[in-house]
């Protein structure tokens, strides 16, 4: 039991010593901070911070959005009729011209139907001509002639219908472009639900994207855009050619499309694009780094340095980018804005400023 009490006593003494040591250390720090010069009009070293000198520069308000590349024209090639494939007249991945025959379907039965219809039409035309001559001589009535004429017209319509069916056995390219991988073979049975291949016109390409509703007044036809894709480490350009007339009520965005030259076929439909859209240029704008802004209850403030002391001033801000923000009021050209130490700064606190280059003004 005595050993237990001894241990408790040692613990209490150890805690008391730690408390005494901490109080003594804090007192020494306080005495060192208020050194001899401070009480006699001297100044402390001050907090070391970074700052930038406010300068006026032209600010281009770029809007960063994402979009998708689309083919200028795209279609899934399918047949309107069923039948055996007798020939395939294209190479996968090749360029084809508008009107080029791509696929031919067996048409022997339709050809036979056409010959039969033409024979009947020829016989009916002979009967109609004979009836016309007899009508002129008064040998038959008008009603009998009208019957033979109606038979001829009906057979002509049937012939046109068979010709239309025959035309569907030949599949032509509806426009010039690049054809994709085929999913049929010669001798295979083709139906209207069978995909033959995809045909796309990829020069130029379209790029589709949306912008927030608040920017609609700054988007114009022929506006230039630049963008990058994951496939290439370079920038591509295009121009706006179409703007949706209405706002999407669910997303509150405006749909826009731009044309993109693609003579080298580098870009592919479906690619993800990071787009930069230049909206407007503001002359003599005051830009400061975002980290200098301090949100407060009634708005925003920044710290500037004046006579070696930090001064907190309210500001009004405009457009914000990823790195900088436009200040519309509260700062003047030549002010030194503090960009570090915001959480430790207080009004009239002494500071030692290291001026760094204002990248926004370059």
Q: What are phi and psi of 222, to 5 degrees?
A: 70, 10
Pick from 260, 160, 158: which is nearest to 208 by CA? 260
| Helices H / strands E in the chain, number of each | 3, 19
pLDDT digits (tens, 9 = 90+) for 2-35: 566 667 677 767 777 667 666 665 555 444 444 4
- Residue 184 · residue 85 · CB < 8 Å: yes
Q: Look at residue 113 and tell me whether its pLDDT is greater than 60.
A: yes
Q: What are phi and psi of 302, to 5 degrees?
A: -140, 160
Burial of 74 (0-12, 13-18, 19+ CB in 10 A): middle
Q: What is the mean pLDDT of residues 257-282?
A: 90
Pairing of strands 224-229, 272-289: antiparallel
Give the CA radius of gyration of the chain. 42
pLDDT digits (tens, 9 = 90+) for 284-339: 888 899 988 998 888 899 999 998 899 999 999 887 877 888 898 999 999 999 99
Query: Which of 18-32, 111-125, 195-209 is the least confident region?
Result: 18-32
Question: How many Å apart are CA 262 and CA 12, to the nearest integer?
Answer: 81
Q: Which two tokens stand for residue 316?
A: 């009004």
pTM of structure: 0.63
Whole-number pLDDT of residue 312: 92
- Which helix H or strand E contains 156, and what residues bound it? helix 142-167
Whole-number pLDDT of residue 32: 46
Question: How many Å apart are CA 219 and CA 274, to the nearest integer?
Answer: 17
What domains are defined for the chain? 49-58+283-355 (2.40.420.20), 64-72+199-282 (2.40.30.170), 80-193 (2.40.50.100)
Q: Look at residue 248 and tell me whether its pLDDT is greater than 70.
A: yes
**341 or 156, greater pLDDT:** 156
CA torsion, ordered 202, 204, 209, 211, to nearest 10 deg: 180
Q: What is the mean pLDDT of residues 128-145?
A: 90
Q: Which two tokens stand for residue 320?
A: 């914000």
Burial of 24 (0-12, 13-18, 19+ CB in 10 A): exposed
Residues 6+ apart with CB under 8 A from 333: 54, 55, 56, 286
Residue with tokens 């901490």: 22
Residues 6+ apart with CB under 8 A from 152: 121, 124, 125, 127, 128
Residue with tokens 């500001």: 315
Residue with tokens 């426009």: 175
Q: Look at residue 38 and tell me whether its pLDDT is greater than 70.
A: no
- Residue 192 · residue 80 · CB < 8 Å: yes
Question: How many Å apart are CA 212 and CA 207, to the nearest integer?
Answer: 17
Whole-number pLDDT of residue 34: 41
- Residue 227 · residue 273 · CB < 8 Å: yes
Percent of the chain with pLDDT over 70: 89
Question: How many Å apart are CA 129 and CA 287, to the nearest integer?
Answer: 92
DSSP 176: S
Q: What is the mean pLDDT of the chain?
A: 87
Whole-number pLDDT of residue 258: 96
DSSP 81: S
Q: Which two tokens stand for residue 21?
A: 């040591």
Residues 6+ apart with CB under 8 A from 167: none
Whole-number pLDDT of residue 298: 83
Q: Which two tokens stand for residue 147?
A: 């019957």
């Amino acid at each position: 039991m005595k050993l237990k009490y001894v241990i408790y006593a040692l613990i209490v003494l150890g805690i008391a010593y730690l408390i005494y040591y901490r109080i003594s250390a804090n007192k020494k720090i306080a005495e060192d901070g208020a050194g001899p010069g401070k009480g006699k009009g001297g100044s402390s070293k001050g907090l070391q911070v970074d700052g930038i000198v406010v300068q006026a520069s032209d600010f281009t308000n770029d809007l960063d959005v994402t979009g998708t590349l689309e083919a200028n024209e795209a279609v899934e090639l399918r047949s309107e009729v069923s039948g055996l494939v007798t020939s395939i007249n294209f190479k996968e991945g090749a360029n084809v011209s508008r009107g080029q025959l791509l696929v031919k379907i067996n048409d022997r039965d339709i050809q036979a139907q056409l010959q039969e219809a033409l024979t009947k039409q020829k016989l009916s035309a002979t009967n109609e001509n004979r009836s016309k001559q007899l009508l002129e001589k008064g040998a038959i009535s008008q009603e009998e002639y009208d019957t033979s004429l109606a038979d001829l017209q009906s057979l002509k319509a049937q012939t046109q219908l068979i010709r239309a069916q025959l035309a569907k056995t030949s599949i032509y390219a509806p426009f010039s472009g690049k054809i994709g991988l085929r999913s049929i073979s010669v001798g295979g049975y083709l139906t209207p639900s069978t995909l033959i291949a995809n045909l796309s016109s990829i020069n130029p390409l379209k790029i589709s994207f949306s912008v927030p509703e608040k920017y609609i007044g700054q988007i114009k036809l022929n506006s230039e855009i630049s963008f990058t894709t994951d496939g290439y480490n370079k920038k591509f350009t295009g121009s706006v050619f179409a703007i949706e007339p209405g706002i999407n009520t669910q997303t509150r965005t405006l749909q826009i499309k731009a044309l993109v030259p693609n003579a080298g076929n580098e870009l592919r439909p479906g690619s993800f694009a990071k787009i930069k859209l230049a909206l407007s240029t503001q002359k003599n704008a005051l830009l400061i780094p975002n980290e200098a802004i301090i949100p407060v209850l009634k708005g925003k403030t920044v710290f500037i340095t004046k006579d070696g002391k930090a001064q907190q001033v309210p500001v009004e801000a405009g457009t914000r980018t990823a790195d900088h923000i436009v200040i519309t009021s509260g700062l003047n050209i030549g002010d030194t804005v503090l960009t570090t130490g915001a959480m430790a700064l207080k009004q009239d606190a002494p500071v030692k400023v290291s001026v760094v280059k204002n990248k926004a003004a370059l």
